[in-house]
Structure 1
Amino acid sequence: MIGLLRRLRSAGVLGLNCRNGDYILQYNDRRHYPLVDDKVLCKQRLLRENLPVPELIGVIGLMHQTSRINDLLGDRSEFVIKPSRGSGGDGIMVVTGRRGDYFIDSDGEMIEQDTLEHHLTNVIGGLYSLGGQPDAAMLESLVHFDPAFSRLTYHGVPDIRVIVYRGYPVMAMSRLPTRLSHGKANLHQGAIGVGIDLASGMTIGGVSGNSAVSIHPDTGAPIEGFQIPGWGRILEMSARCHEAVNLGYLGVDIVLDRDLGPLILELNARPGLNVQIANRRGLRAQLDAVDALGDRDEPPEQRAEWSARQLGEPPRDLLVQALS
């Protein structure tokens, strides 16, 4: 085990303790956390910064409001329910249609209104929130993913996680829903993590858990060599989030809507480190490269261009050898 840790450190892999102590603690002022941890507040801030997000249908924060969900939805048949202060994808319910008095979820299952209202009460009661604190249920428009992804997803919307350090995108991956993840782009629930070359926006291979995968298990499509649409725009949007929430180390989650293009789904003040496994490379070299720039006053578009030019995909042999 000690030998493995040494090899990973030599390969530039960032561990949790180092991430927390050297980057999150140093560059993320805790007074800004509530803005990111609360999805409603975060969405409102991003809108003020003219950053595109999925439409907010409404917020249900009181138990007696759950029975009036139809008044809030109007004639909408598609929507997503999210805990405002949830994490890890828990508590998210995706509704793709209605049939009579029933709602239809992303797996095609029929849901009675009583079941949906019960789910809302669980959200409000804090079942899925950080620390189990009382929460609110956010109702958001359903994203219709870009058809370019049609062969790389199963019953869900793939997303893109970009790690941004001091305003510079430093690493990115796409998370592809699978049958195992029930159509959710959540790695812990079985989605596939796919590394992305910052220079080109081209996928460079995938992982499921800690195992490398080359094809999507449900569609049979190859994972490597897929061009992410609108890659330059995605990097620029991610860079702009640094000023929007005043965090020096954050994760930006973006989805590609077929009609609206890139939309920011949410931000994360404590992004996980799976992105290194997906890219089969450590984060340390990219973070060091940004630190070597010193303090610069550059606009987001220039920071995005620098990242694409300087932090493109290098050889991944070191990390592969460290894990072998």
Structure 2
Amino acid sequence: MLAKLARYFATPGQLRQSGVLGMNQRNLRCIGSYNPRKLFPLVDDKLQTKLLAEDYQLAIPRLLAVIRSQMDVKRFERFLPSGQGFAIKPAKGSGGKGILIILETRGDYYRKASGQWVSRQKVERHLSNLISGLYSLGGNPDVAIIETLIENAPEFNDFTYKGVPDIRIIVYRGYPVMAMMRLSTQASDGKANLHQGAIGVGIDLASGHAVQAVQHDRPVKEHPDTGKNLNELKISDWRSMLLLASRCYDMTGLGYLGADLVLDARQGALLLELNARPGLAIQLANTAGLNPRLEALDQWTRRIKGPEQPSEDRVAAAQQLFARDTPEISVCVDQPHHVE
């Protein structure tokens, strides 16, 4: 991670001085200290996460079906609303692998988020491969989750290409510490996946405004497919997003997690999934290191007396501490230093 950041922004020494959190430090300081391994199945299995979120009355996309066997694969359409779209996800997948978004059905043909039409046979093959473990962690047998589609909020229509953007919020000890919106592109096949070419936009915790945007780890100013100025992006229902992310700490007991959310046009903020080992590219999108924020929260929590703060107070504290108009060390430098 440090090498990737250094390639475009600064030398490794400058990055450490600027407070960039590296992979080893994340594993030891955050995951090892605050994420008991016995709790990992709550987030590694998306089906468990959905069922747990229902118990905690957290807003999530409606579950249409769970495909567990080849017999279920052959009759998967029986579980779906006629003619409507749906999303297929592996319960134990990672990195966006195995997710298939269908916007429309016509007979035995299905239109993907990219606009491409695929046959029923291809959808069945995808489901069959999924439950066989092709996309799961460790290649173990899996189950397919079929959910209702998210209806993109109109405010994001020009910021994304044939897909719904999602928001990754890092939560530390119950406090939101950093956020990023991921925008789909033609290169990412309409998926909000950074590894496949989606855009990461850093978001100011206080206001919900865009801070900076990157694609393939390089700064960008406009969406490559729509031409929209990414600096104009603002999330209107931002506080609801932060509250939902903060409550995921209460639900799981994980002290360091990544909450992936969406803003639905009709239902508002919804929880998609959780990650007990969230990646670190979010620092690139925000041009800021995570370490100063983690240290600030450690100091903040030491001053709190009595019972643990509720999610509303944790969100208010985070917005006050990490507003972008307050001084903060940036990892971006004027002249890139290329490191071999």
Fold-level similarity (TM above 0.5)? yes
Contact 2:114 2:189 in 1 (8 A): yes
2:41 counterpart of 1:34: yes
What does residue 310 of structure 1 align with? 321
SS at match of 2:231: coil
Contact 2:68 2:131 in 1 (8 A): yes
Q: What amino acid maps onto 1:270 in structure 2?
A: R
1:65 to partner: Cα distance: 1.1
What does residue 226 of structure 2 align with? 219
1:294 to partner: Cα distance: 3.0
SS at match of 1:259: coil
2:327 counterpart of 1:320: no
2:136 counterpart of 1:129: yes
Contact 1:143 1:157 in 2 (8 A): yes
1:315 to partner: Cα distance: 5.4
Contact 2:159 2:233 in 1 (8 A): no
TM-score (norm 1): 0.97
Contact 1:204 1:225 in 2 (8 A): no
1:137 to partner: Cα distance: 0.5
What does residue 52 of structure 2 align with? 45
Q: What amino acid maps onto 2:239 in structure 1?
A: G
CA RMSD, aligned part only? 1.5
Q: Distance in 2 between matches of 1:285 and 1:244?
A: 26
TM superposition outliers: structure 1 runs of 4+ over 3 Å: 314-318
Residues 81-132 of structure 1: CA distance to partner in whole angstroms, max 9, x if unpaired? 0000000011111111012221111122221111111110100000000010
1:78 to partner: Cα distance: 0.6
Q: Distance in 2 between matches of 1:276 and 1:247?
A: 21
Q: Distance in 1 between matches of 2:19 and 2:216?
A: 20
2:248 counterpart of 1:241: yes
Residues 223-247 of structure 1: CA distance to partner in whole angstroms, max 9, x if unpaired? 0132211111111111111010110
1:12 to partner: Cα distance: 0.3
Q: Distance in 2 between matches of 1:146 and 1:209?
A: 25
Residues 241-271 of structure 1: CA distance to partner in whole angstroms, max 9, x if unpaired? 1010110000001101111111011100000
Q: Distance in 2 between matches of 1:70 and 1:58?
A: 10
Q: Distance in 2 between matches of 1:294 and 1:260?
A: 33
Contact 1:280 1:316 in 2 (8 A): no
Q: Distance in 1 between matches of 2:225 and 2:328?
A: 27
Q: What amino acid maps onto 1:319 in structure 2?
A: V
TM-score (norm 2): 0.92
What does residue 301 of structure 2 align with? 294
**Structure 2: which 5+ residue stretches go unaligned?**
none
Q: Distance in 2 between matches of 1:222 and 1:126?
A: 40
SS at match of 1:194: strand
For 1:106-255, list aligned pairs within 5 A: 106-255=113-262
Corresponding residue to 2:25 among 18, 29, 41: 18
1:30 to partner: Cα distance: 0.5
Q: Distance in 1 between matches of 2:83 and 2:313?
A: 40
What does residue 63 of structure 2 align with? 56
Residues 179-222 of structure 1: CA distance to partner in whole angstroms, max 9, x if unpaired? 10011000000000000111111011200122110111111010
Contact 2:93 2:137 in 1 (8 A): yes
SS at match of 2:230: coil
Percent of residue pairs bearing the same amino acid type = 45
Contact 1:80 1:140 in 2 (8 A): yes
What does residue 267 of structure 1 align with? 274
2:21 counterpart of 1:9: no
Q: Distance in 2 between matches of 1:178 and 1:144?
A: 17
Q: Distance in 2 between matches of 1:95 and 1:29?
A: 36
Q: Distance in 2 between matches of 1:101 and 1:208?
A: 36
1:318 to partner: Cα distance: 3.7
